[in-house]
């Protein structure tokens, strides 16, 4: 069961393709005013907006495109500033965008890209938009994680591949970090009317691993034939963002639309607290919650 979202403002990052585009389309079909956050203006972005706008029109919703480079903290801050000027409320924030880099690359800010985009970006954007979410409460923070977090651990000496970078190790660690931060948001936001939950969308055909080498890309192209569609992957995000029975539910992990136990390491509050302080330091964002 989903909640009609007429009059609600929903932000979805990574909306130019895959699960993000399907999520934006689904929320628009429920009547939301969808803010589709994309990397840049491009033919792909224009095509995505056409689809999102069409579905939004069907549901009497609306769609607005905004752009951000999630590897740049200045760009994230500009996005938040622009959003504040254009919208007077924020009911749902879906941090969907993510990367899985096959090699270590650094952002212009000097951070390893997987950690910067998968961890620092949602931490910073959420904290910047929280004041608007609080005045719009009840509101929802929805973070798209992955079961790649299972079996992972936080190595504070190798958060950004300082010792060794491995595509799957660092990706899994980044998703575990996102789990921990989501639960920390849930703890800190108790009593504010803002809930924080996270989810695994399933094995989905996306371009998340577009940075793989040619041989790995070829293998992935075969394997992903057995994966589910982005539309199916978006179902859990849409459910967590809109289901009326989840009003007030916070600090939960969802998979296939149901609450499940997250990877055990996600619940380590001491590690989460340390990670939170590191994110504050690296983003210069001293959270007020």
Residues 60, 111: Cα–Cα separation, whole Å: 41
- Which position has the token pair 């000496």? 157
Distance of CA 44 to the CA centre of its chain: 20
E strands present in 54-103: 62-67, 92-95
Residues 91, 210: Cα–Cα separation, whole Å: 32
| The Cα angle at residue 284 between residues 148 and 83, in degrees rounded to 5 | 80
9: three-class secondary structure by DSSP: strand
Residues 282, 250: Cα–Cα separation, whole Å: 26
104: three-class secondary structure by DSSP: coil
Among candidate residues 67, 171, 220, 267, the one labeled active-site is 171
User: Is 171 one of the annotated active-site residues of the chain?
Assistant: yes
- List residues with catalytic annotation: 171
């Amino acid at each position: 069961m989903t909640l009609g979202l007429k009059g609600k403002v929903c932000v979805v990052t990574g909306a130019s393709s895959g699960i993000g585009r399907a999520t934006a389309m689904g929320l628009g079909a429920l009547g939301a005013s969808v803010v589709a956050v994309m990397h840049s203006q491009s033919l792909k972005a224009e095509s995505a907006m056409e689809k999102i706008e069409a579905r939004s029109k069907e549901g009497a919703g609306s769609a607005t495109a905004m752009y951000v480079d999630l590897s740049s903290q200045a760009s994230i801050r500009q996005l938040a500033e622009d959003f504040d000027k254009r919208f007077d409320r924020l009911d749902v924030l879906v941090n969907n965008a993510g990367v899985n880099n096959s090699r270590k690359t650094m952002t212009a800010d000097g951070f390893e890209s997987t950690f910067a985009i998968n961890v620092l970006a949602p931490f910073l954007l959420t904290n910047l938009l929280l004041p608007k979410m609080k005045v719009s409460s009840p509101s929802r923070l929805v973070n798209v994680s992955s079961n790649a977090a299972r079996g992972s651990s936080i190595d504070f000496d190798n958060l950004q591949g300082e010792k060794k970078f491995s595509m799957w190790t660092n990706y899994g660690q980044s998703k575990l970090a996102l789990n921990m931060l989501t639960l920390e948001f849930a703890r800190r936001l108790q009593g504010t009317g803002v809930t924080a939950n996270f989810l695994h969308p399933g094995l989905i055909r996306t371009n998340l691993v577009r940075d793989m080498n040619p041989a790995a890309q070829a293998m992935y192209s075969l394997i992903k034939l057995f994966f589910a569609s982005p539309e199916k992957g978006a179902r859990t995000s849409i459910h967590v963002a809109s289901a009326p029975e989840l009003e007030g539910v916070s600090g939960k992990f969802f998979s296939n639309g149901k609450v499940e136990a997250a990877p055990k390491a996600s619940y380590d509050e001491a590690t989460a607290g340390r990670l939170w302080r590191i994110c504050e330091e690296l983003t210069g964002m001293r959270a007020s919650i």
